[in-house]
Chain A
Amino acid sequence: MVLIGVVAFLGLGFARTSLDRSAFDLAELSKAISEETAMNRQMNLEIARLVNPARISPLAEELGLVIPDTTKQLLVDLTPEIPVVAGAEGEGKNQ
């Protein structure tokens, strides 16, 4: 009984210690998540700055690009052509 009590006591202590250690690890992970989230926001901000038209337009002009002109629309006639059958007018009927 004494042995069981001692083992139980030691086990409880070990479990409690593990739990506390896990809690510390969890706190560290939470901190890491917060830092990564902040980093992600900074990156999104950097992307937004890079796509700013005020930044891109002068660079584009330096490269010789121009603002697109009026949209050009090409209309394609998709009506299928009626095929001309050979001999339709009496030619080569007997071939």
Chain B
Amino acid sequence: MAAPKAARRLQPSKVRVAVIGLAVVAAWMGMGYRLFQIQVVQAADLAEQGLNQRLVSRDLAPQRGKIFDRNGELLAMTVQAQSIYAVPGQVEEPLWVAQQIGGLLGADTDVLYQRLTSDRDFVYIKRQVEDVVADEVLGLEIRGVYSHPEPTRIYPAGAVASHVTGFVNIDGDGQEGLELVYEGELRGTPGKAEFERDLQGRVIPQGYSRIVPAIPGVDLNTTIDLPLQYQAQQACVLALEQTGAISCWVVVLAVETGEVLAMVGAPIFDPQTRQTQDPLCEQAEDPVACRAFSNFTVRGIYEPGSTQKLITVAAALEEGEVSIGTVFHEVPDELELRDDACRFADDELYGCYRDFKNHATEDMSVAQIFTRSSNIGTIKIAETLGQDRLIQYIEAFGLGSKTGIDYTAEAPGILNFEAGCETCWASAAIGYSVAVTPLQMAAAYAAIGNDGIWTTPHIVSSKTDVDGETQVAGMQTRRVVSSGTALLMRELLASVVEKGTGAAAAIDGYRVGGKTGTANKLGDDGRYTETTRASFVGMAPINDPKVVVAVLIDAPSFDYRTGGLSAAPVFAVVMKQALHRLGVTPDGDQR
């Protein structure tokens, strides 16, 4: 009976198998539980964590809009460049590196060395260099020196259109000119890209991706004619050399549409480097003295002198107070509006007026007064108007208020008719006691050329967005004088060139009309100096004007101090080119 006892006792091998089996089952159950926990319970959280690790979010920078001239030539565009930077902690031989890179980039080695030895983690060596230059630097394979792409604004026309386009700063933000006026539209709208990437940085196909594309900036189509802009600028540069003036400014308007065909000045500046050759800018501590960067045609004010007489005479004709043939008897060359005003040589007592050239007291018609630019005669014409009507016409012609041009910081000018001023009306009649911009004078003359209709000047004719839709700029007009008065004034302007002070403005093949202006500048003590601002504003062809050109020469030397000597020749050069560019049929005889 020993066998049943042996059967009731469990064999050790079976126990081991059972234990191992239980362990295996427990392990599988554990794995199953973990699997369930990962794949079911924590699935969403883990998936989200994984996605966050793979997900990359990038801002998509919009392409800044381009700027074109009226012929489709590029004035400004943005391209991709490279910005070279360094991680100072990784640079092993900073002095050698500074010398090597400084030579390639033309940068100051000392400045570079200081940056490379600083305790910063990131320093720029040079921003926005061309790819070729960047490749040269990176080709040195210097540890710690890298590059990253960065957009840069390029101005292919260089300094030629700088006073129109303005410029951007290093970060691509508009600072001046059209770049600033249309900053919001040029900039565009940034986009955003989210996508999954692998360890090598490649986009994972079929992975999560969401792209909001950047919207490129709007392209601006301007009214500027680039070749004419260049010719006008060259004429100004030459004028500075010849006359020794401080600056020269020219604005060219299309008479009927108010389009700005050219807007230039000298000294010039490079919008790319934002540097100028103006010696005043180099010497002056006060940046206000730097004239090159500020567009004087729009925001610089000056007393227009005799060019203002157009408005005085036009007003008197329009009001019927005078006609072309009206004769003013015994017009002297000196007039006192206040007793003994002319006895005080230092202008302490205002009210003394003189003609530019001495002459005997004589009878003068309105036409003669205008052609010979008689101050006294013009004051007598203004007397027939009275101050109120004179102010009315000055304002109607756009003086004393902004023209509304699409440009930054336009100056409205100044009309000085303070209460109690006995002589302000007389001064205003001959172009003193008022301050205007060259653009305002050009627009006023354009009104005469346009049969008495004043038109808002503008630089941008249309804008093109990413869909190719073009928005055309609207034109604002108002009538200031009748077409009959405008016609009479045009003939008077022609007589100034053909018989008067504007002979140097004549052009072969065209009848030109215009007016010279010579105004003494105010000194720091508030008194008039011998230094002048010489100007000429005119139009052609006089029978059917197409173009108005306004020229201002600031502080020419004594030999060139009048508008006829310094500004009229510049006008002739610019007007000739403008008529040629527009293909205007000649209307006159040879000179």
**A binding-site residues for B, Cβ under 8 Å:** 19-20, 22-24, 27, 38, 41-42, 44-45, 47-49, 51-54, 57, 67-73
- The 6 A-B residue pairs with the shortest CB-CB distance, nearest first, are A23-B205, A48-B156, A48-B74, A53-B230, A70-B509, A49-B156
Contact B508 A70 (CB under 8 A): yes
Contact A54 B160 (CB under 8 A): yes
Kindly report which residue of chain A lies nearest to residue B227, judged by CB atoms: A53
Q: How big is chain B's contact interface, by range? A: 20 to 34
Q: CA A8 – CA B99 in complex, angstroms?
A: 66
Indicate whether A73 sits within 8 Å of B585 (C-beta atoms), given known contacts A42-B79, A45-B156, A49-B156: yes
Contacts of A57 in B (CB 8 A): 230, 234
Interface centre among A22, A27, A41, A52 (most CB of B within 10 A): A52
* Pairs across A and B, CB under 8 Å, 23 listed: A20-B206, A23-B203, A23-B205, A38-B79, A41-B79, A48-B74, A48-B77, A48-B157, A52-B156, A52-B158, A53-B157, A53-B160, A53-B226, A53-B230, A53-B231, A54-B158, A68-B580, A70-B510, A70-B580, A71-B509, A71-B579, A71-B584, A73-B585
B159 at the interface (CB under 8 A from A): yes
B408 at the interface (CB under 8 A from A): no
Q: CA A54 – CA B155 in complex, angstroms?
A: 12
Q: CA A57 – CA B228 in complex, angstroms?
A: 12
Contact B206 A70 (CB under 8 A): no
Kindly report which residue of chain A lies nearest to residue B80, judged by CB atoms: A38
CB within 8 Å of A: which B397-428 residues: none
Contacts of A44 in B (CB 8 A): 74, 77
Contacts of B579 in A (CB 8 A): 70-71
Q: CA A32 – CA B580 in complex, angstroms?
A: 45
Kindly report which residue of chain B lies nearest to residue A51, judged by CB atoms: B73
Contacts of B159 in A (CB 8 A): 54
- B98–chain A nearest beta-carbon distance, Å: 30
Contact A23 B206 (CB under 8 A): yes
Contact A45 B74 (CB under 8 A): yes
- B538–chain A nearest beta-carbon distance, Å: 16
Question: Which residue in A19, A27, A47, A54 is a CB contact (below 8 Å) of B230?
Answer: A54
Indicate whether A45 sits within 8 Å of B154 (C-beta atoms), given known contacts A19-B205, A38-B80: yes
Contacts of B585 in A (CB 8 A): 71, 73
Contact A54 B576 (CB under 8 A): no
SS of B interface (majority): mixed
Question: Which residue in A22, A23, A45 is a CB contact (below 8 Å) of B79?
Answer: A45
Contact A70 B226 (CB under 8 A): no
Indicate whether A27 sits within 8 Å of B202 (C-beta atoms), given known contacts A38-B79, A54-B159, A71-B580: yes
Contacts of A45 in B (CB 8 A): 74, 77, 79, 154, 156
Q: CA A41 – CA B154 in complex, angstroms?
A: 11
Contacts of B300 in A (CB 8 A): none
- A40–chain B nearest beta-carbon distance, Å: 10
Contacts of A22 in B (CB 8 A): 205
- B154–chain A nearest beta-carbon distance, Å: 6
Inter-chain pairs besides A68-B580, A73-B585, 6 sampled, C-beta below 8 Å: A23-B205, A27-B202, A53-B157, A54-B159, A70-B586, A71-B585
Kindly report which residue of chain B lies nearest to residue A46, judged by CB atoms: B156
B50 at the interface (CB under 8 A from A): no
Contact B580 A41 (CB under 8 A): no
Indicate whether A41 sits within 8 Å of B77 (C-beta atoms), given known contacts A52-B157, A67-B231: yes
- B113–chain A nearest beta-carbon distance, Å: 33
B577 at the interface (CB under 8 A from A): yes
Q: CA A24 – CA B577 in complex, angstroms?
A: 57
Contacts of B206 in A (CB 8 A): 19-20, 23
Interface centre among A24, A67, A70, A73 (most CB of B within 10 A): A70
Q: CA A38 – CA B151 in complex, angstroms?
A: 11
- B576–chain A nearest beta-carbon distance, Å: 6
- A15–chain B nearest beta-carbon distance, Å: 12
- B582–chain A nearest beta-carbon distance, Å: 9
B474 at the interface (CB under 8 A from A): no
B250 at the interface (CB under 8 A from A): no
Contacts of A51 in B (CB 8 A): 73
- A46–chain B nearest beta-carbon distance, Å: 9
Q: CA A20 – CA B227 in complex, angstroms?
A: 54
Q: CA A68 – CA B74 in complex, angstroms?
A: 23
B507 at the interface (CB under 8 A from A): yes
Q: CA A48 – CA B508 in complex, angstroms?
A: 33
CB within 8 Å of A: which B171-217 residues: 202-203, 205-206
Kindly report which residue of chain A lies nearest to residue B573, judged by CB atoms: A67
Contact B586 A73 (CB under 8 A): yes
Contacts of A19 in B (CB 8 A): 205-206
Contacts of A27 in B (CB 8 A): 202-203, 205
Question: Which residue in B80, B203, B234, B586 is a CB contact (below 8 Å) of A71?
Answer: B586
B583 at the interface (CB under 8 A from A): yes
- A47–chain B nearest beta-carbon distance, Å: 8
Contacts of B576 in A (CB 8 A): 69-70
- A67–chain B nearest beta-carbon distance, Å: 7
Q: 1/0 per position for B51-86, CB-CB distance to A under 8 A?
A: 000000000000000000000011001011000000
Contacts of B74 in A (CB 8 A): 44-45, 47-48
Question: Which residue in A20, A53, A68 is a CB contact (below 8 Å) of B205?
Answer: A20
Contacts of A47 in B (CB 8 A): 74
Contact A48 B73 (CB under 8 A): yes
Q: CA A52 – CA B77 in complex, angstroms?
A: 14
Interface centre among A24, A27, A68, A71 (most CB of B within 10 A): A71
Contacts of B507 in A (CB 8 A): 70
Contacts of B508 in A (CB 8 A): 69-70
Contacts of B203 in A (CB 8 A): 23, 27
Kindly report which residue of chain B lies nearest to residue A55, judged by CB atoms: B158
Kindly report which residue of chain A lies nearest to residue B230, judged by CB atoms: A53
CB within 8 Å of A: which B119-140 residues: none
- A9–chain B nearest beta-carbon distance, Å: 18
Contact B583 A71 (CB under 8 A): yes
Kindly report which residue of chain B lies nearest to residue A50, judged by CB atoms: B156
- A7–chain B nearest beta-carbon distance, Å: 23
